[in-house]
A = this chain, B = another copy of it.
Amino acid sequence: MNPSIIREILKVTEKPGILSMAGGLPSADTFPVEALKTACDRVLSLNAKESLQYAASEGFAPLREWVAARMARLGLEVSPDQVLITSGSQQGLDLVGKIMCDVGAPVAVETPTYLGALQAFTPYEPIFTSLASDHEGPLPEAFARLAHDAPGTRFAYLLPNYQNPTGRVMSLERRQAVMAAAKAANVPVVEDNPYGDLWFDEEPPASLSSMWPEGSIYLGSFSKVLTPGFRLGYIVAPKALYPKLLQAKQAADLHTPGFNQRVVYEVIKDGFLDQHIPSIRARYKANRDAMAAALKQYLPAGCEWQSPKGGMFFWIRLPEGLDAMALLPKAVDANIAYVPGAAFYASNPDPRALRLSFVTLTPDLITEGVAILGRVLGEALEAGAQPTP
């Protein structure tokens, strides 16, 4: 789907007072304002000149060391030399696209997948090939088929934890099977993990990258655990690939703001996230519970969904004959918004899918919003389901 169409969709939902479950935004109530304020003041008092001058394209060395140490928790032993600080993980996607895509060469993605990745890769003109997927993510056998269906696939782009848009998580067994299949097919894996810290009851299994380190690129982000407004993410790459990524980074914007890197490092260096992230988890889990209960209570029979074990999204499949895109104007008229699922497919979009965020509204408003959604869907069903185009 054309990205500008998505922009139009989201603009439609920008209505004063609307109960929007459309955005991919974290809750602004989780931003650690006081800690950031103290850190800004400290950095400008102690290291003003260094933080305001041009800086290394690789990123701020202590932050790179912090990231490398953090990766060990995900089962991945890396050196700080393998860490590249990026301007959000969206830039990580752009740099990966720049050095790994070739015009007309295949890139494998999940079905469905993160829209922003499709947008980031598209300018490099790959051919997207969709990996057959189920409720746990891509199927291992889909990798074996790549050699035949999409020879020369440059990489597979995977989101193992609470995927955007489906909320699904890959089990340990699925991860092992997928990575063995990717390795056998010699298709590198780009692992995008913005939501891995946002688990509710149990930590997700080990990272994909830990299962094939020399064939994997890992993308991380501070957007969901601290703030997106500082635009800070990172790439962890095999040593052989690092110089090309670094060169692309330098060409793209010289470096990520040194001030932002130092402020975030100042906030997190003494273990702040170990207290902060659990508070986000508790908040999001309560919201998830509210949405799960409301969906059960208000959605008409025939709607299908899984309750996500982490992250920010429910993925709803509507009954036969309903079209999430066609219904959006009615939903906005009724004062709610969602994102039609069709936006998240590289090909063959599912018109019956839609994505709901449960993190930007309070539990009470989630209940109210889902009740309205149930009414809109119920009325559409009563009016006679239209054949989907």
Q: Which residues of A contact B (CB under 8 A)?
A: 3-4, 7, 23-26, 28, 31, 33, 36-37, 40-41, 44-45, 48-49, 51-55, 86-88, 90-91, 94, 98, 103, 116, 119-120, 122-123, 223, 227-231, 243, 247-248, 250-260
Residue contact A52 to B33, C-beta cutoff 8 Å: yes
A36 proximity list for chain B (CB < 8 A): 44, 52
22 contacts between A and B (CB under 8 A): A7-B250, A23-B54, A28-B52, A33-B48, A33-B52, A37-B40, A37-B45, A40-B40, A52-B227, A53-B228, A53-B229, A54-B223, A86-B253, A87-B231, A87-B253, A87-B257, A90-B252, A90-B253, A116-B254, A227-B259, A231-B253, A260-B260
* Chain B residues within an 8 Å CB radius of A248: 123
Q: Which residues of B contact A116 (CB under 8 A)?
A: 251, 254
Residues on B with C-beta less than 8 A from A53 are 25-26, 28, 31, 227-229
Closest residue of B by beta carbon distance from A37: B44
**Contact across chains for A253 and B28 when beta carbons are under 8 A apart:** no
Q: A103's closest neighbor in chain B, by CB?
A: B103
Q: Is the CB of B255 within 8 A of A54?
A: no
Q: A33-B48, A87-B87 are in contact. Are A252 and B251 (CB under 8 A)?
A: no
Grouping DSSP codes into helix (H, G, I), strand (E, B) and loop, the A interface class, with mixed when no group exceeds half, is helix
Contacts of A228 in B (CB 8 A): 52-54
- Residues in B neighbouring A49, C-beta threshold 8 A: 28, 31
Residues of B contacting A26 in the complex (Cβ-Cβ under 8 angstroms): 53
The 7 closest A-B pairs by CB, nearest first: A52-B229, A28-B49, A52-B227, A40-B40, A31-B52, A91-B253, A33-B48
Closest chain-B Cβ to A169's Cβ sits at a distance in Å of 24
Would you call B247 and A231 a contact (CB within 8 A)? no
A257 touches B254 (CB 8 A): no
A112 to B376, CA, bound (A): 64
Instruction: For A258, list chain B residues within 8 Å (CB).
Output: 229
**Taking A31-B52, A33-B52, A52-B33 as contacts, is the C-beta distance between A256 and B231 under 8 angstroms?**
yes
CA distance A53 to B228 in the complex (A): 5
Q: Are A98 and B119 in contact (CB under 8 A)?
A: no
Rounded to whole angstroms, the CA-CA distance of A229 and B120 in the bound complex is 25
Among A51, A116, A227, A260, residue most surrounded by chain B Cβ atoms (within 10 Å)? A227
Contact B94–A253 (Cβ < 8 Å): yes
